[in-house]
Amino acid sequence: MLRYALRRIGGLIPTLFVIVTLSFCVVRLAPGGPFDQEQTLTPLVRANLDRLYGLDQPLSVQYGHYLRGLLHGDFGPSLSQRDFTVSELIAQGLPVSVVIGLCAILLALLIGIPAGIAAATWRNQGADHGLTVFAALAVALPSFVTGPLFALVFALTLHWLPVAGWEPGAPRYLVLPVLTLALPVAAHLARLTRVSLLEVLRSPWIRSARARGLGGARVLWRHALRPALLPAVSYLGPALAYVVTGSLVVETVFGLPGTGRYLVQGAIDRDYPLVMGMIIVYGALLLIFNLVADLLYGWLDPRVRHE
């Protein structure tokens, strides 16, 4: 297990390097620059600005400079929000985004997996059918529809929760954004768990466990559940990717000071360092989370470790 973990951690660094290099190339090769929209700039001012931010240097020099900065945790200055460096913006926004994302994933696990187990246990009964319909709805509807609708119903009509905003340490601001992000993931997890648990319950080793006289609950908890959770675990990586993309919408809808809106605004303003910094940070988060999911998978299914 330890060797497997070390090997997987070692694989992170080249992947991260590829992400950095690719995002640098793509962002820099595109037409248009960050100062294009400011038409009042005289050529001299423009040249000075370019020099200040190093944009007049050859690309290879800029790349080397950028890599060196990264090693010190320096993502460069933000071109659109001139008073801040990208690192400062990330440091401000990331805690909010991470809290919301992790809460959403935890909530999705807490709802989705028990719901899936329940649906498989009481197969083809009312609860199962209800879950199937609900899950189909939750999976089909994107966050930019559910988010505003939740706000309309729970905040503007019922006045249970605030419409938007953020206060550190005030969980009521978290409820709607987390719910919006968690529902589709929970629905997906419930579906996966239901299908795989049903399949496992039909397998020969479960039949033999039953033949040895084990009761239904014991078979479920001791024998069936662990292999049945594998698909749900391997969905965790895509789930985080989903939550991350969804957070762009949710942070806009609920006015949260997270990093998602920096990515969108940075992209609109062609703020190279900001966009790249966001991509690298999100890329690293996704890689780490995928690693955790893989290790969990390896722990649940020992066959994976020995490949």
**Which residues of this chain interact with other proteins, rule CB under 8 A?**
18-19, 23, 26-27, 30-32, 136-137, 139-142, 144-145, 147-149, 151-152, 156, 163, 241-242, 244-245, 248-249, 252-253, 263-264, 267-268, 270, 275, 279, 282-283, 286, 290
Which of 34/116 has CB closer to other proteins?
A: 34
Q: How far apart are CA 201 and CA 48, in angstroms?
A: 70
Shortest gap between Cβ of 179 and other proteins (angstroms)?
Answer: 16
CB crowding 47-78: b at 16 or more within 10 Å, else e = eebeeebebeeeeeebbeebeebbeeeebbbb
Which of 188/223 has CB closer to other proteins?
A: 188
Exposed, middle or buried: residue 80 (CB in 10 Å: 0-12, 13-18, 19+)? Answer: middle
What angle in degrees, to the nearest 10, is found between the helix axes of 236-253 and 143-150? Answer: 50
Which of 75/282 has CB closer to other proteins?
A: 282
For 251, the enclosing helix (H) or strand (E) is helix 236-253
Joined together, the tokens standing for residue 90 give 């990330």
Shortest gap between Cβ of 22 and other proteins (angstroms)?
Answer: 8
Which of 1/152 has CB closer to other proteins?
A: 152
Joined together, the tokens standing for residue 282 give 């999100």
Select from 200, 269, 267, 255 the least CA-distant residue to 229. Answer: 200
Exposed, middle or buried: residue 256 (CB in 10 Å: 0-12, 13-18, 19+)? Answer: buried
Shortest gap between Cβ of 198 and other proteins (angstroms)?
Answer: 14
Q: Three-class SS of residue 184?
A: helix
Shortest gap between Cβ of 149 and other proteins (angstroms)?
Answer: 6
Which of 10/31 has CB closer to other proteins?
A: 31
Which of 108/249 has CB closer to other proteins?
A: 249
> Residues 16, 17, 23, CA angle at the centre, nearest 5°?
90
Shortest gap between Cβ of 136 and other proteins (angstroms)?
Answer: 7
Shortest gap between Cβ of 172 and other proteins (angstroms)?
Answer: 18
Instruction: List, in sequence order, every beta strand (DSSP E) within the chain.
Output: none
Q: How far apart are CA 126 and CA 57, in angstroms?
A: 67
Which of 196/220 has CB closer to other proteins?
A: 196
Which of 1/267 has CB closer to other proteins?
A: 267
Shortest gap between Cβ of 152 and other proteins (angstroms)?
Answer: 5
Joined together, the tokens standing for residue 143 give 């966050």
Shortest gap between Cβ of 44 and other proteins (angstroms)?
Answer: 27
Q: How far apart are CA 128 and CA 149, in angstroms?
A: 26
